[in-house]
């Protein structure tokens, strides 16, 4: 009888992704050594889960093991921005994604129960609970009385998307202009590499899931750079709602490429500490994204963003 492949543990998968993020943010190049103790310190965990996560990455060819020197980065993360999509999913992660897809498609009501999800997905109780707890930790669900969970209002319809952009227009540019705003230079450099690599892909290979990741990372970086913890937390919580599948439905590759160029232009001014200009460009970017129409973007984005050259 053929043995069933054992699924990796969720914490090992999460840590593998964190290792990739750290390596990308710190500009690690192919061949860079990945000492277990250094990775453990950077990720604030012990060496045991780091060893398991590195082994998982080695199975995917992302890192390689050398007997004398340990683990080394085997690929160029900047040239392969979508490598995270190749990692396997734990059972509860797959269930969480299925729940989000069905909610986005209105196949699930706003309130769900453990028993109902067990029947619908033919899943064990512990798997359902882990998936629900994961979505709760990400602020996509709220616990209701009994064994019920309530989906939070998400920008998954035109009205809600409009309200979402109005909320972001109020807070995101303000976050940049708050006294004490700080840009994480290492993260910004790694994000720039990822966005440029994604922009270089032909339309047929353009990865919408990778765009969603860098889009969330870009706006999340702005939220985290805000020195006002209440503004930062409010933005971070709201941006998590954009994880839902279908958020970019109906937005074509042309507009997504424009969004990447707008991100890069905003980043230019953030890096040069010209925060007023960066905030103004961010307002324009959010308004264009709210429209989600290529013809509207064509009238505004290229001309305006093209007129403002990259700061020296």
pLDDT in tens, 59-73: 888 889 888 888 898
- CATH topology of 90-151 equal to that of 158-291? no
Model pLDDT for residues 201-235, shown as the tens digit of each residue? 898 888 888 888 889 889 999 999 999 999 999 99
Give the pLDDT score at 191.
87
Q: Kindly list the strands in the beta sheet with 141-143, ordered across the sheet, starting from the edge strand earlier in the chain.
A: 111-113, 148-151, 141-143
Q: In whole angstroms, what is the distance from residue 210 CA to residue 213 CA?
A: 5
The pLDDT score that the predictor gives to residue 220 is 92
Better-predicted residue by pLDDT, 105 or 132: 132
Domain ranges of the chain: 10-85, 90-151, 158-291
Q: How far apart are CA 265 and CA 14, in angstroms?
A: 31
Phi then psi dihedrals of residue 281, to 5 deg? -65, -35
Check if the beta carbon of residue 208 is closer than 8 Å to that of residue 248: yes
Question: What pLDDT is attached to residue 166?
Answer: 93
| CATH ID of 158-291, from 3.40.50.300, 3.40.50.1220, 1.20.120.530, 3.30.9.10 | 1.20.120.530
Asked whether the predicted pLDDT for residue 294 surpasses 50, the reply is no
Nearest to 79 by CA among 8, 38, 30, 12: 30
Q: Which residues, including other chains, have CB under 8 Å from residue 70's CB and lie 6 or more apart?
A: 33, 34, 35, 36
Architecture of domain 90-151: Orthogonal Bundle (1.10)
Is the pLDDT at 44 greater than 90, yes or no?
A: no
Please report the pLDDT score of residue 102 as a whole number. Answer: 87
Per-residue model confidence (pLDDT) at position 169:
95
Q: Which CATH class is domain 10-85?
A: mainly alpha
State percent of the chain over pLDDT 70.
Answer: 82
| pLDDT value at residue 302 | 46
Strand partners, 143: 149
Nearest to 214 by CA among 101, 109, 81, 96: 81
Look at residue 298 and tell me whether its pLDDT is greater than 50: no
């Amino acid at each position: 009888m053929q043995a069933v492949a054992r699924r990796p543990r969720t914490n090992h998968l999460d840590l593998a992704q964190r290792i990739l993020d750290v390596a990308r943010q710190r500009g690690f190049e192919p061949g860079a050594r990945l000492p277990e103790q250094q990775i453990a310190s950077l990720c604030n965990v012990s060496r045991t889960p780091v060893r398991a996560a590195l082994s998982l990455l080695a199975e995917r060819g992302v890192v390689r093991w050398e007997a004398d020197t340990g683990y080394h980065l085997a690929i160029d993360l900047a040239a392969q921005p979508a490598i995270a999509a190749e990692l396997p999913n734990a059972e509860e992660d797959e269930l969480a994604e299925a729940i989000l897809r069905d909610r986005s498609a209105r196949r699930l009501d706003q309130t769900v129960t453990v028993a109902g999800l067990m029947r619908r997905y033919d899943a064990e109780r512990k798997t359902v609970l882990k998936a629900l707890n994961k979505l709760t930790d990400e602020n996509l669900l709220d616990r209701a009385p009994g064994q019920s969970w309530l989906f939070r209002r998400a920008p998954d319809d035109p009205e809600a998307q409009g309200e979402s952009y109005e909320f972001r227009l109020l807070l995101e540019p303000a976050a940049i202009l708050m006294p004490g705003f700080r840009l994480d230079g290492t993260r910004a450099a790694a994000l720039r590499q990822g966005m440029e690599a994604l922009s270089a892909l032909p339309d047929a290979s353009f990865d919408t899931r990778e765009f969603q990741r860098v889009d969330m990372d870009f706006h999340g970086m702005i939220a985290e750079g805000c020195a006002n913890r209440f503004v930062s937390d409010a933005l971070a919580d709201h941006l998590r709602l954009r994880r839902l599948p279908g958020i970019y439905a109906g937005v074509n590759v042309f507009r997504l490429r424009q969004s990447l160029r707008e991100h890069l232009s905003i980043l230019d001014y953030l890096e040069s500490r010209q925060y007023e200009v960066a905030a103004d460009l961010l307002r324009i970017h959010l308004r264009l994204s709210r429209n989600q129409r290529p013809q509207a973007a064509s009238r505004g984005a290229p001309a305006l963003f093209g007129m403002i050259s990259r700061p020296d």
